[in-house]
Amino acid sequence: MLQITPLNPESETSFYRQLYLQIKELIASGQLPTGGRLPATRELAGQLGLNRTTVSAAYELLETEGLISGHVGRGSFVAGSPKRESGVAWREILEASAPISPAAPSSTPVAGFSSSRPSELLFPLEEFRETCAEVISSPDAQTILQLGSPAGYPPLRRYLLELARAEGIARDSDDILITSGCQQAFDLVQRTLVRKGETVLLEDPVYLGQKNAFERGGARLAGVPMGANGLDLESLERITRRERPRLLTVTSNFQNPTGTTLPLASRKALLGITQAAGVIVIENDIYGGLTYEGDPIPTIKRLDETGDVVLLRSFSKLAFPGLRVGWVIGPRALIEKLTEAKLWSDLHTDQLSQAVLLRFAESGRLAKHRQKMLEAGRERLHAALSACRQYLPAQAGFTRPRGGMSLWVTLPAPLDAGELLPRAERAGVTYLPGRYFAVSHSQSNSLRISFAGMAPDRIREGIAILGRIFTEELERVRVHSPLTETPAMV
Amino acid sequence: MLQITPLNPESETSFYRQLYLQIKELIASGQLPTGGRLPATRELAGQLGLNRTTVSAAYELLETEGLISGHVGRGSFVAGSPKRESGVAWREILEASAPISPAAPSSTPVAGFSSSRPSELLFPLEEFRETCAEVISSPDAQTILQLGSPAGYPPLRRYLLELARAEGIARDSDDILITSGCQQAFDLVQRTLVRKGETVLLEDPVYLGQKNAFERGGARLAGVPMGANGLDLESLERITRRERPRLLTVTSNFQNPTGTTLPLASRKALLGITQAAGVIVIENDIYGGLTYEGDPIPTIKRLDETGDVVLLRSFSKLAFPGLRVGWVIGPRALIEKLTEAKLWSDLHTDQLSQAVLLRFAESGRLAKHRQKMLEAGRERLHAALSACRQYLPAQAGFTRPRGGMSLWVTLPAPLDAGELLPRAERAGVTYLPGRYFAVSHSQSNSLRISFAGMAPDRIREGIAILGRIFTEELERVRVHSPLTETPAMV
């Protein structure tokens, strides 16, 4: 009998691929010798409690790679060992862990709701070209091309710090570090502040990149449930008491993936809870510039009177994501340490992009572009919300963001957003299922709709398709519901 | 009596600053209360075995900060506590560890030998401007500004991989990852391949950034001594047997800091040793493009028949260091893992710079610029070597690089390059003392001369000044040599 360890239903790797990897390893290690016979697909499916097509798919992949060969009526046999490409034991060293990143997006003929990024059709190409031309013809060009400072391009640091001071979010005791986008800011925070095994509180659900930055650094993650108004504060207080975390990350405006915003009173309460417990607050404000409706609420950093809150911002959501420039504002002692970590991570952030974005902002072009982005975002948000109201099953819930790039749909039980994704993809629509954003709580019945990258008509069309699929599935499971077969109570 | 823990002579932090930090901490913690009396400088110097001026310097700094005040004839008293800026215990969390990065370079009126970077005066600004203009006016501009791939800008990846295949250094089983410069490549290698406590072999001396990337990741470092022809292979074999390391990093051409190059036979022998022991070889070839004399030697990656060697390269030393683009070529399974680590480190490398450097290379401008760099480099190298011959004391040794950016000077005992640096700086010359590059062996009598960033006459003038200082010091220590006071043997 084939020695297959139970497949992991929590893994991002599909069953057939997990099976394929295990059999490949058995062949590579010689436990399945060349010429050895594999069990029939029906037999192995029975043994493992799998669908027979799953086993067939694994066998097909092995056959494609020339590792097994099938003979009608006789079964499948091991044809040879996987080629060892080298003397270094790469397999052992690298382990067979499945990456926890979403698969590459399929082609999306109708609507791709899976990426939170601005539409490239809105990029102000002419203004970008003018900006570049100004930067490279300026006398600073030589300096920009030379090795720079780990803390960032000095004129950009000064510009952003002055802006932050004017806004009341940077104090004299604060300083600034330019990072290669916000993702790096999380990575540096993890490296500098979190020791292996220490606990980090994250919003639950939360953006995958945050989860991974801390998890890879060896932190224990604890999720704080999100409600319609962001972080649930009662849970925060309880979990803080129980977990004694080192830090909390919070996206106060238009959180990714839920799109929710923390109200003013909750921001103040959050400060009370974290300050009492000595928990560092990392406020991620990369969506704050994208307020489509209502007045912006002061950041937690601004409300904080201790000067301890650390604020992350970035140009990527507003301007050009391909240019990797973000920044961190926080207490000087922390910024010094983050800068040191930055130095040994990548020396410094690319200076051409820093200089171009500085010029783009200073010249007023960023503010003008932002107005365009706000108009487009408002339209898209309205299209998404009205389509959700119109097309989603009545039992589905969805958040009502007032800015940002995404909203969060919760399907009625027993629907599973991950299981339904292939059907949506076949119909030309993609999204990211809730499991990519889960921290401590399963999010299997939820999904993220990233609406900001598409025109309103495609948003409507895409959500209409999703609505149809979810409604059909809901009717199908009702028809087959075991409830109708429940015996009479006795 | 003041509770001062022994000062650390190995620390990069000067004695007076270490003392200052300790006293400041005693005041902050209340162990030295406001109004409390500090010992007289003479007394504390005696207690700690320090020079009295060291203690005075620490007291002065404390006084400048308003923490103590001095009264002639009565001594110094604690005037107040350092301001606590916040409720989070930043001090404890961040520790008082001294950064192991060199101090900011002082102004260098004569010659700055401390940074291995090309001179900005040689930057081909016009060609760079033309390149940028072409990139931003091309139809790819929209794609470049949009969120990109963690593996790198696809046209650049293809271009570099094809070039590497043509050169015979990439096989079908290899793949490529674009990194934010070579420093990030080391960081990703450390994160992916080295578990905490595992041993990494480094050249000794080696570039500080390599040492720090691995040390911060928790690796044990072991240094393999460098000779006039690079890595000492007998030591490598012995240390490999003893340490059973995970990997070895080696800079085969014009190593930083020594400037030495590993001969062909040694490259082959190195492959034999590492393959037998299953040690991964990370070949850093960022200086290989800067061969001023003789024929280039095939990289270790090219000589390797297993396909296991991992090659790092970069545009930074040849073109524009301010644009952070390097790359890694290695077995596909490793590149996949590095790409995943890259994704959670900073999503992807800046795309504007990737596209600009691709165009700069593809258009033939990089090759043309390289010729100019080679001519300038040859002149500078000759100026440096002839000045070393002419001005350094006869007992000093120095390496004879045939390319790259730096050479290595070893002073006769008991001269200490770190102690002599302030004198050199006062005379308008800077360099990095050997201790910044030390791994397992003290390099206190050595220093790195980075010659590539300066015109020949400044190189000569600078080395002449160093020669004078070293010669004077050598005469001074001879006059005061304790040898003359040695009692007769009995």
Helix (H, G, I), strand (E, B) or coil at A306: coil
- Contact assignment for A347 to B123 by CB distance below 8 Å: no
pLDDT at A45: 86
- Contact assignment for B321 to A147 by CB distance below 8 Å: yes
- Contact assignment for B306 to A87 by CB distance below 8 Å: yes
pLDDT at A100: 53
Which of the two residues, A261 and A108, has the higher pLDDT score? Answer: A261
**Torsions phi, psi for B430 (to 5 deg):** -120, 155
Cβ atoms < 10 Å from Cβ of A408: 24
Q: Check if B422 contacts A (Cβ < 8 Å).
A: no
Sheet harboring B75-78: ordered strands across? B37-38, B75-78, B68-71
pLDDT at B104: 52
Residue with tokens 């991989």: B161
Going from the C-alpha of B242 to that of each of A79, A87, B199, B201, B237, the distances in angstroms are 41, 20, 11, 11, 9
Residues of chain B found within 8 Å of residue A117, distances taken between Cβ atoms: 146-147
- The whole-angstrom separation of Cα B212 and Cα B202 is 11
Residues B389-418 have a mean pLDDT of 96
**Torsions phi, psi for A420 (to 5 deg):** -85, -15
pTM: 0.81
Judged against a pLDDT cut of 60, whether residue A234 lies above it is answered with yes
Residues B219-243 have a mean pLDDT of 96
pLDDT at B111: 85
ipTM of the complex model: 0.80
- Contact assignment for A322 to B193 by CB distance below 8 Å: no
Which bin fits A198, alpha (ψ -120 to 50), beta or left (φ > 0)?
Answer: beta
pLDDT band at B464 (very low <50, low <70, confident <90, very high): very high
Residue-wise pLDDT tens digits, A59-83: 887 887 778 887 666 788 888 776 5
Judged against a pLDDT cut of 90, whether residue B174 lies above it is answered with yes
Residues B421-438 have a mean pLDDT of 94
pLDDT band at B102 (very low <50, low <70, confident <90, very high): low
Give residues with Cβ within 8 angstroms of A166, minimum separation 6.
none
- Contact assignment for B86 to A306 by CB distance below 8 Å: yes
- The whole-angstrom separation of Cα B221 and Cα B136 is 45
Residues of chain A found within 8 Å of residue B85, distances taken between Cβ atoms: 173, 307, 331-333
Residue-wise pLDDT tens digits, A339-384: 999 999 999 999 999 999 999 999 999 999 999 999 999 999 999 9
The H-assigned helical ranges of A392-455 are 417-426
Q: Check if A276 contacts B (Cβ < 8 Å).
A: no
Q: Check if B72 contacts A (Cβ < 8 Å).
A: no
Give residues with Cβ within 8 angstroms of B386, minimum separation 6.
B460
pLDDT band at A96 (very low <50, low <70, confident <90, very high): very low
Chain Cα centroid distance, residue B443: 14
How high does pLDDT run on average in chain B? 90
pLDDT band at B5 (very low <50, low <70, confident <90, very high): confident
Query: Which residue ranges form the domains of chain B, and what is each CATH number?
Result: 15-94 (1.10.10.10), 111-119+367-479 (3.90.1150.10), 122-363 (3.40.640.10)
Query: Which chain A residue's Cα is nearest to B143?
Result: A120
- Contact assignment for B321 to A115 by CB distance below 8 Å: no
Cis peptide before A414 (omega within 30 of 0): yes
pLDDT at A47: 85
pLDDT band at A25 (very low <50, low <70, confident <90, very high): confident
